[in-house]
Structure 1
Amino acid sequence: MNKQRTLSHKLAVIPQYLQHLNGRLKGEVKALCQLSALLDIMNNERLDTFFQPILQLRTGRTLGHEVLNRPPASMHFPTTEHFYEFAGRTEQMYRFEQNCRRMSLTRYMERLPRTEAGSGRLVFVNVHPGVLDDARHKSGETLALLQSLGLSPERIVFELTERQAVQDYIGFEKVLSYYREQGFRIAVDDAGSGYNSLKTLVYLKPEFIKLDKSLIRGIHGSREQQELLELVREYAARSATRVIAEGIETAEELLFLQRAGIDFGQGYALGRPAQLPVQGALPPGSIQAAGRGGYSYVSSDR
């Protein structure tokens, strides 16, 4: 009787086991198709490159541009975020980042209008933190590329996204010091989007803090977001760091940030990503509005 019961139990779980195997097989096939698509995009340089201006909010002067590389529309990657998330999990990440960096800087110089050639504006390049201290990295590789393009390292800002968390902060700070000695600058991207924000800022001491668009969206009507902004602004003032607010889309958001004393901004209200690195512009009347003094907290709409 016990043997029969045991056999019956084993037979009962067979459908569940087959379903499990089928799910794993589908997942592996999907990952294989995504990897094939990634390699195709990488090998054939099928990323589209755009440049979004970053402006000084007080004057409207263009500080520089962030380079944005977007994959072609694909069933394998529904969004750009899905694409980069997958690339970051593969063994191709180092090679992919190398290709992106070379392509970003080369296309920047190829598309830079002649009138802007001597402007000295900064170029913000997104970098996966794990790539900078990868054992495969060859010293002087990026410097050689810059020299061939006629760019100085002082114009390059490496953007490190907070979503790709750093584990060994002390060791990574030493890696960043090596790049700083060569003239490069560091920006922490997506600040305010995760719990690691303050630790990242304290240990890495970036030259720029880029505030995530989730913190900026509707900030003129949210006391909670305003208080967090003030904390970051005070820290930046004490540590000689400049703040860049990302995702500015409305005149109300812009006006609040100007009155709050935020240094720089980026977003559709100032300039959309374009195939040429052209200057952005503040909306009419916003420069005059920036000088009207301080701001007061408001009640949250939420």
Structure 2
Amino acid sequence: MTYLFDVIRQYMVSLKRYHALRGMIRDQSLTTYFQPVISLQEGSPLGYEVLNRPPASSLFPNTEAFYDFIGHTDQVFAFERASRDLSFNRFCAALTRSDKPRDTVIFINIHPQVLLDTNYRSGETLQLLSRYGLSPKQVVFELTEKQAVHDYVEFERILYHYRAQGFRVAIDDAGSGYNSLKAIVSLKPEFIKLDKSLIRNVHQCPNQQRIVKLLQEFAAESGTHIIAEGIEAREEFVFLQQEGIEYGQGYAIGRPATELQTASLPVCEKTSM
């Protein structure tokens, strides 16, 4: 009886989550944040990652749980379509309110299976960009380790289609697992985003430093740009800058915000005499 009760309870919670998700898609009740990505060497801006977050709820204790749940439903395509529209719409509005260049780059998180969808490839994204006055050259698709690619030959063919239109690709969470490393080699992305687990206390961890160095060498040989994610401490920033890592993002540079904030390099603390 206890097992049966637990199964029923889990089913009811899942049903409530499903209806909540459908409501968010319908009402566009996500909050959109923009986190700056900058040059670690010069401090100049590269662009912004767009982050759509669900409202605070007991059904979804955190953002990761929310997106994990979506991946197990039949709403992946519907959510991605709505989220993409929302991202472009709100980015365009924020860009209009800011003093940033009109061709500012945006990083959009996207599920690999969505790119495989024939409806998605039919020009829907180009129509959206045209509606908001944006260009494919401004858009970088972020593919994450958590959403593995299975058919790399087919996926590489599809990415060629997007690249021909001007879009670029970033592999997110690099160094966090086998899938991201395989994706880097197979898909030849324009950007490699180092996972925050590699960056946390990297100045103190020789093993993490070796992995960062290996990825940096691979990127240099393949013409790929490195972006270090999750930079939260000045010491992490200093180490990455000294190692010649090209780009970075994180709380030490700029927190996610609903407007396009101007980021800056962390200020080095002065030692007292």
Which TM-score bucket, shorter chain as reference? over 0.9
Query: Is 187-196 or 74-83 further displaced after alignment?
Result: 187-196
Secondary structure (helix, strand or coil) at the match of 2:37 reads strand
- TM superposition shift of 1:88: 1.4
Check if 1:96 corresponds to 2:95.
Answer: no
User: Mapping of 1:1-302 within 5 angstroms?
Assistant: 18-112=1-95, 113-118=97-102, 120-285=103-268
Q: Contact conserved, 1:161 with 1:189, CA < 8 A, in 2?
A: yes
Secondary structure (helix, strand or coil) at the match of 1:220 reads helix
Unmatched 5+ residue regions in structure 2? none
Q: Contact conserved, 1:154 with 1:184, CA < 8 A, in 2?
A: yes
Q: Contact conserved, 2:234 with 2:268, CA < 8 A, in 1?
A: no
- TM superposition shift of 1:114: 4.4
Alpha-carbon distance in 2 for matches of 1:169, 1:138:
17
Alpha-carbon distance in 1 for matches of 2:266, 2:98:
25
Q: Contact conserved, 1:163 with 1:194, CA < 8 A, in 2?
A: no
- TM superposition shift of 1:195: 2.1
Q: Tell me which amino acid in the other structure corresponds to 1:90.
A: T
Q: Contact conserved, 2:40 with 2:248, CA < 8 A, in 1?
A: yes
Q: Contact conserved, 2:172 with 2:180, CA < 8 A, in 1?
A: no
Secondary structure (helix, strand or coil) at the match of 1:55 reads strand
Alpha-carbon distance in 1 for matches of 2:114, 2:82:
12
Alignment: residue pair count: 268
Alpha-carbon distance in 2 for matches of 1:136, 1:154:
21
Q: Tell me which amino acid in the other structure corresponds to 2:142.
A: E
Alpha-carbon distance in 2 for matches of 1:181, 1:104:
22
Cα RMSD of the aligned pairs, angstroms, is 1.3
Secondary structure (helix, strand or coil) at the match of 1:109 reads helix
Q: Tell me which amino acid in the other structure corresponds to 1:116.
A: K
TM-score, scaled relative to structure 1: 0.86
Alpha-carbon distance in 1 for matches of 2:121, 2:138:
21
Correspondence for 1:14: none
- TM superposition shift of 1:285: 4.9
Alpha-carbon distance in 2 for matches of 1:218, 1:170:
36
Larger radius of gyration: 1
TM-score, scaled relative to structure 2: 0.95
In percent, how many aligned pairs have the same letter?
51
Alpha-carbon distance in 2 for matches of 1:159, 1:19:
43
